[in-house]
Every structure is written in C-alpha cells, then in structure tokens.
Structure 1
Amino acid sequence: MPPKRKAAPALEHRSRAAPQSSLKKIAAEYRKQLNSRLAQIKSQYLVRANEVKQRAKDKIQEKKTRIFAQQTRERRQVSVKLLKLLNARDAKLQAIASKLEETKHDHDTFAACLSVVYKTLSDKASNLSDITPTPRHTANSKDRARR
C-alpha cells in the first residue's frame, strides 16, 4: 500500500483551485471564440463556394444560350435557302405548265408537247451561267456498265 499523503492546508487548497477554475473559464472562452471563428470561416467559405457555383452556372447558361442562338440562326438560314429553292422549283413548274398550255394545241400527243417544252427550257437553262446540270452517270453506274 502506498503511503498516504498529508492533506494540504485549507488555504493552499483554495489557492490551487482558483487558478484551475479560471483556466477552465479561459479555456471555455477560447473554445467559444474558436468555435465562433470556425463558424464564421465556414459561412464565408460557403458564401464563396455558392458564388463560384453560381458563376459556373451562369457561364454554362450563357454558353447554352449562345449555342441555341447559333443553332437558331443556322436553322433560319437553312429555312431561307429551302424557301428560295421551293420558290424556284414552283417557278420552274409554273413555266413548264404555261409552256405546256401554250403548245398543247400545236402537237398531237402529250409526249411531243412535253419534249418541245423540255427542249425549250433546257435551252434557256444552258444560257444561265449559275445553273449547272447534275451529272447523270456516277462511278457505280459506269462500273455496272463495264460488267
């Protein structure tokens, strides 16, 4: 059995207890300050993180908007081109119909009338510089002809 220690005098005991309780109070105060500072840092971090996220979202949305606008412009351009082609085709069909109407009394069969119209229109087309005829023979058809 270890020897018993002598009890300290009452005054010494009180003087030792006072610094420990004040240290505990100081430590508790530091903990509170540290916790509040950590909470402040955390809230600042969250604010900055949310700002960064929002900027990233804004950039993505801006990019999507630009892409959508570009696609819309391209679709409009294609639509305009298709409309021009359709109008040109309608004009050609109208010219064929009017030419057929003009020449139907001059020829006895529809085929003869159609050949005259085709020749007339192809002569007109050959005089236009911006219209190029489409090739009738492709490489595959030439290969088939050789076999």
Structure 2
Amino acid sequence: MNQLKKISDHFDSSDDDLVELNEMFKVPKTENYVEMVPLFNNLQYKEHFRISRRVTEELTKRYEMSEYYHHQEGNSPKISGLKQVTIFLWFAVSSFSIVADRFNISKSFLFKIIHRVTDFMSNLSIDFIKWPNQQEILESENYFRGREFPGALL
C-alpha cells in the first residue's frame, strides 16, 4: 500500500492524471480465449477442462433449457450457455482471478456465472449421484476397515 501512496503522490487529482494512474494498475485480460476452445482436439480439450467435449455439450444443452440460464440480474451482457459452462469448468480446475482474466470478464460477473451454473449442476446431481444401498455401504465399510481405515462410511 505504501508503494501505491508513493506513486499517487506524483499525480494531482486531475482527470488526466487519474486516468493515467488507473491505466498503470489495470490488469490486462486475455481476449478471445473461448473462441480458441473449439480449435482444441479432444485430448487437448480434456486436458484443459477434465471432461470430454461431448459431456460439455450435453451439460450446455441441459443448462440452456434450465431456469438458471434464463435468470440474469444486473446489466451484464448475456453470454452463451456454452461459454458459461466452459467458464464454470475452467473455474473448477483453476483460480478465480485466472478465470476472470482468461475469459475477459470481471470477477463479479464471474461470481454470478459460477453461482448460477453451480446451482444448475447441483440440481442435476439426482440424475448422476447414486447413493449406495445398505448392503453396498456395509461392503465398502468392510473394505476400508480391512485397510485400517475403520468408520469411513458409518
């Protein structure tokens, strides 16, 4: 913070100086990353997003038909379902700042997208997460107990 104070002391409060100061601290964002994604081959795609392109496309179709995609607050521009799902997937394997930079969006807009797509995915869990029955729980408990990890499931 002292460094910022030293730098700001060199400027007066004129609009030109404030614009110049703002430009000095502006973090550049990566532009057009999402437009490069379709150029990835299947292996590159899976390396970047940890799932196949086919799964991403299926998630996108379901997301675009959901209430989550159609609910938007604020004045942020509407972006495609594919871009929102891609942002979410990148976020899941990356960090907040890197994702905002990579997709050329603000962190606050990223937060809104992550919240919306997380809610959507959470509601899909009933279609994909299958809880074990009592017999399967006992078998798994015995498995872990035999590896000196008792009480893992019970």
TM-score range with shorter-chain normalisation?
under 0.3
Q: Quick check: which has more Rg, 1 or 2?
A: 1
TM-score (norm 2): 0.21
Could you state the TM-score of these two structures normalised by the residue count of structure 1? 0.22
